[in-house]
Amino acid sequence: MEPTIVTWALILFGLLTHGVLAYVYAVFARNPNGQAGKDLMIGKGKDWRDQTHFKLNLGFAWTDFVFFLPLFVSGSIGMILGQAWGYLFFGAAGACALYVNIALWFVEKEHVYPTLGPFRYYTYFWGFFVYWGALALAYSALRVSGVRF
């Protein structure tokens, strides 16, 4: 199960997409009530809509560090090493990304989409996470099934 150009492209796409998010979550998780975290998470000078909004974002930040990032990193390493478990972990990270962003579609869209517009929303602010998750999950399933790209 040697890595292919598609393997490397998905790892790089994931690093770019989730690397920025990891930075934002690190700033926020370090000082959840600080202005820098709010500026990065919800927009410069904005405030949380309510405690549920704040707690949801704090929960996602910590869940990414405890659950998602270890799956993504170990899956990427495993794929580079050509191991089947790497593809399984990478696919699990893709499933996590899909799960979270489907939930965010219902929770955040009404507040985020109007301020960003369709292009920014359907690219980095929401879309890239869904696109990467779907591609990572599908690619991993196909590779474990024996399909080579």
Q: DSSP class of residue 66?
A: I
Mean pLDDT by 10 residues, the chain (149 residues): 95 96 92 88 81 89 94 98 97 96 87 83 91 97 92
Two tokens, residue 36: 């820098």
> Rg of the chain's alpha carbons, rounded to an integer?
16
Range 74-110 burial, b when 16+ CB lie within 10 A, else e: bbbebbeeeeeebbbbbbbbbbbbbebbeebeeebee
**Domain regions of the chain by residue span:** 5-144
Sign of the alpha-carbon dihedral angle for 95, 26, 63, 127: negative
Question: Taking phi first (over 0 means left), then psi (-120 to 50 degrees means alpha), and beta for anything else, what does residue 146 get?
Answer: left
Residue 37: what pLDDT?
A: 86
How much of the chain, in percent, has pLDDT values that exceed 70? 100
Q: What is the pLDDT of residue 42?
A: 79
Q: Tell if the pTM clears 0.85, that is, is over it.
A: yes
pLDDT given at position 50: 86
Report the chain's mean pLDDT, rounded to a whole number: 92
